[in-house]
Structure 1
Amino acid sequence: MQSLFSLTARAYVRWHDLPGQGIPIVFVHGLGCASSYEYPRIVADPAFGGRRTVLIDLPGYGFSDKPRDYDYSIAHQTEVIIEVVNALKLPHFHIYGHSMGGSIAIEVAERLRERIAKLVISEPNFHAGGGVYSRLLVEKPEAEFISQVYDTILANHTSPWKGSAQNAAPWAMWRGAKSLIDGTSPSWMEIFLNLSCSRTLIFGEQSLPDSDFQYVSHKDISVAIVPQAGHSMSWENPSALAAVLNKEFSQG
């Protein structure tokens, strides 16, 4: 893995830079996840097309440091991604973000407009208020979540998500969820709609119908569906997600 001391997080952030062809694709994971854990299966799939990929573990997750004195806000996680792509000297790149990572990817695309070849997001947080899971995490104060709720959530999970969540810092998860609930102004949806780069919104078939998916589909923005999958599409149907991503990034 490669690493960088982030001036934003005041900690080391780590990532895989996997060799391949074409414009590099930066992957940004969701809440409780890690790109190093979730995405190797996707990018190794023959359907993905052998592309160069940068799999970043955000601070608080995976192999990256987990500082206590960092706010883990969407805005600051965005800054960390920008630090990494600048360190890699990527003048032009694609970016893919899932769930919380989708919100971060939207902000990266807004900040680095001319450097974004294409933005692809799957089931992102578009609005303040968070999703069901974000709201569940912050039902209790941070200290109580860390001391009690975090372990209870892990004990009740058997999905692949548990593997990454048990290696995430509970304070990172709580503060990240709180930032999603607080939202931003303008909203991530407004930012997404006003971007000039090529964009695609992906949803899992089992997550539909969805009002945001329907709304975006009526705009001049492409949409795609991963069959036989819901929100956790990278685990539920990895080959299909790999094929969808390859198709979308081939179209530019």
Structure 2
Amino acid sequence: MNIKNVFNFYSRYGKICYYDNKLDKDILLFIHGLSVCKEVFYKQIELLNNDFRIIAIDLLGHGGSENASHDFDYAYTVQGYSDCIIEFLTLFGAKAVTVYGWSMGGSIAIELLERYSGVKKIYIDSCTPVSYIQGNMRKAYLFNKVARLIIKKFYTYDEAIDCLKKGGIVPNHTHSFQKIEPVIEGFLRANGNMREISFASLMEMKGVSPKECVEKQREKVKILVGAKDPRINIKYLKKHFADITEIYPKSGHAIFWDNPSTLKQLLEQN
């Protein structure tokens, strides 16, 4: 990404770093997952950079953004992250916003759909709309050693690579190791306290209940999931959201990484 297109926004909890191509077009907002950074979406930015005003943010405690300055137990939750993004979008009077959220970013996208009227469509990648009301987290997700890997406070370089690999971020014929290096650096930079608080907040199931929000506004939602995703219970998605779910047989926990042109194709269909 062109460093000239990286800017800072000063939210209530600290400085947020973001990419913005500044085009006079509808906004396409990218929200990354836990412990990574905006650079993980470099390929989508390359493919769509002339078609939208693309904004890709680093959440607080991630990438080029600052660690939260106060109220950590709230600032590092889905609601806290969403507050900052809403503050950001409101500043620009943003309307007709399309949001692409990966993993934890998908949970934030659902929160934005419920709370920010300018959101017209969300794509949630490798994220399942659970019901906070029914408390059905263990029906929607698969809890195994892969899930536990993401909440360590500190990682070595090799551990970061291994964790990203299990999350689907691996070098291949499309992504060179050189392109992954900024994501590895972002993973190692991610605040350890943030990691623990963010994961715990997801388990506590507070805020907008994703399942009920998506059921109410399902025409604005597309769910993308890999058949090989070790964290997602696909049977749950087929039961509740078959009509708005796309399953990718050869993919794991990062559809956008395995299939970089998928979002462009989906956007062209709508």
TM-score (norm 2): 0.75
* 2:26 alignment partner, SS class: strand
Contact 1:44-1:50 within 8 A present in 2 as well:
no
Deviates more, 1:191-200 or 1:52-61: 191-200
Task: Specify the code of the residue in structure 2 equivalent to 1:212.
Answer: Y
Answering whether residue 257 of structure 2 is matched by residue 232 of structure 1, we say no
CA-to-aligned-CA distance 1:137-193 (integer Å, 9 cap, x gap): 55xxxxxx53xxx225x5434244633210211111111111111113663122221
What residue number does 1:62 align with?
63
Q: State how 1:1-252 maps to structure 2 within 5 Å.
A: 1-7=6-12, 9=13, 11-19=14-22, 22-35=25-38, 37-45=39-47, 50-67=51-68, 69=70, 70-71=72-73, 72-113=76-117, 115-127=118-130, 128=137, 132=144, 133-137=146-150, 145-146=152-153, 150-151=154-155, 154-158=157-161, 159=165, 160=180, 162-184=184-206, 187-195=209-217, 198-207=220-229, 210-218=234-242, 221-226=243-248, 228-235=250-257, 237=258, 240-241=259-260, 243-252=261-270
Question: Root-mean-square deviation (CA), in Å?
Answer: 2.7
Contact 1:98-1:122 within 8 A present in 2 as well:
yes
* 1:184 alignment partner, SS class: coil
Task: Specify the code of the residue in structure 1 equivalent to 2:53.
Answer: R
Contact 1:102-1:122 within 8 A present in 2 as well:
yes
* 1:156 alignment partner, SS class: helix
Deviates more, 1:124-133 or 1:225-234: 124-133
Task: Specify the code of the residue in structure 2 equivalent to 1:248.
Answer: L
Task: Specify the code of the residue in structure 2 equivalent to 1:203.
Answer: V
Q: Distance in 1 between matches of 2:235 and 2:218?
A: 23
* 2:33 alignment partner, SS class: coil
Distance 1:195 1:217, change over 3 A: closer
Distance 1:217 1:191, change over 3 A: closer
Task: Specify the code of the residue in structure 2 equivalent to 1:118.
Answer: K
Structure 1 unaligned regions, length at least 5: 139-144
Distance 1:119 1:76, change over 3 A: same
What residue number does 1:141 align with?
none
Structure 2 unaligned regions, length at least 5: 1-5, 131-136, 166-179
Q: Distance in 2 between matches of 1:196 and 1:214?
A: 14
Aligned length: 231
Distance 1:20 1:66, change over 3 A: same
Q: Distance in 1 between matches of 2:25 and 2:17?
A: 22
Distance 1:193 1:173, change over 3 A: same
TM-score (norm 1): 0.79
Q: Distance in 2 between matches of 1:178 and 1:62?
A: 21
Q: Distance in 2 between matches of 1:19 and 1:229?
A: 32
